Structure 1
Amino acid sequence: MIISFDLDDTLISKNKFQLEKTNFLQRIFGIESLRKGTIDLFKELKKQKHQIYIYTTSCRSESRIKGTFCSYGISVDYVINQQKHQKKSSKTNIRCSKFPPMFHIDIHVDDSIGVEMEGQKFGFKTIIISETDENWTQTILSKIDLHQEL
């Protein structure tokens, strides 16, 4: 299964949730801090043979995004940033902030209710995570299990 994750306010934020510990080199190079639990979640998803994509509407470069995750010892299989999204979506009649089926994504994880509404309108699956959900990784794993059973 291909699972994509939003970045801002889902996996990265300065003050909305607890963050993974950073090391000296991450601080020197200005690597963004990941939400606490991201490392274990991604390792578990990889163990279950899922592919992990990042799908963000930010203009961060693909190498910057991959470098962030690599600095934490985890990898992502594919990165979709604003440029890739716009390039591919310009060839369709679908207008929405994110359209995971365009990239063969099975489930998209985000913090935005707006993305959930787009999912309902355009027929793609979402898992919406609150910034206050302290068990957010378990929420994701449980909902992925439910989707696999369907």
Structure 2
Amino acid sequence: MRIAFDIDGTLTPLGKGQFRSASLAFPMRLLFREPLREGTVALMRELQADGHDLWIYTSSLRSKRYLYLWLLCAGIRLGGVVNGAVHANALRGRAISPSKYPPAFGIDLLIDDSAGVEAEGARHGFRVVTIDPDDVHWACKVKAACQVQAESSPPPESPRV
């Protein structure tokens, strides 16, 4: 399954003390100053070990290269990145204009902190798990949603001979 994570407010705090987070080890934290939410690396590694393809989907204009390298330094290899520019290009000329639209990138599940994005998911037919900044059990909520999604997905077709 392809799972995408929002960054601001979901994986990184929007303000000081929003939730517990940790910086990368020295010297990488000199290049990548943004801390990751506590439990992010462990969760992402577990999801990857279970065969999930992990992406970032952010409305920010951080460069794709920056995001790939930042998470690679944390030990996470991303399958893809959708930033604000990629999103805008993909939805250009379409009749819909949600702030995020995971189906355009083959994303099965979006993890975000915004109730607005969750409402857009309901309106436009994509699945969103909303993570509250105060939820210390957020990783369990994500894993449970991945399990539900995997169980509700149709099995792959058998190859025809």
Give the Cα–Cα distance (whole angstroms) in 2 for the partners of residues 118 and 146 of structure 1.
20
Q: Is the 8 A contact 2:24 2:32 kept in 1?
A: no
Q: Which residue of 2 aligns with 1:61?
A: 63
Matched pairs, number: 150
Structure 2: runs of 5+ lacking an equivalent: 153-161
Q: CA deviation at 1:123?
A: 0.6
Q: Is the 8 A contact 1:59 1:83 kept in 2?
A: yes
Q: Is the 8 A contact 1:109 1:128 kept in 2?
A: yes
Indicate whether 1:91 and 2:93 are aligned. Answer: yes
TM-score by length of 2: 0.89
TM-score by length of 1: 0.96
Q: CA deviation at 1:25?
A: 1.1
Q: Which residue of 1 aligns with 2:41?
A: 39
SS state at 2:36 partner: coil
SS state at 1:60 partner: coil
Give the Cα–Cα distance (whole angstroms) in 1 for the partners of residues 128 and 146 of structure 2.
10
Q: Is the 8 A contact 1:20 1:37 kept in 2?
A: no
Q: CA deviation at 1:102?
A: 0.6
Counting aligned pairs with the same residue, the percent is 35
Indicate whether 1:147 and 2:149 are aligned. Answer: yes
Q: Is the 8 A contact 1:17 1:35 kept in 2?
A: yes
**How do 1:1-150 and structure 2 match up within 5 A?**
1-13=1-13, 14-15=15-16, 16-150=18-152
Runs of 4+ aligned residues of structure 1 deviating over 3 Å after TM superposition are none
Give the Cα–Cα distance (whole angstroms) in 1 for the partners of residues 43 and 86 of structure 2.
25
Q: CA deviation at 1:21?
A: 4.2
Give the Cα–Cα distance (whole angstroms) in 1 for the partners of residues 34 and 115 of structure 2.
24
SS state at 1:24 partner: coil
Letter in 1 for 2:7: L
Higher alpha-carbon Rg? 2
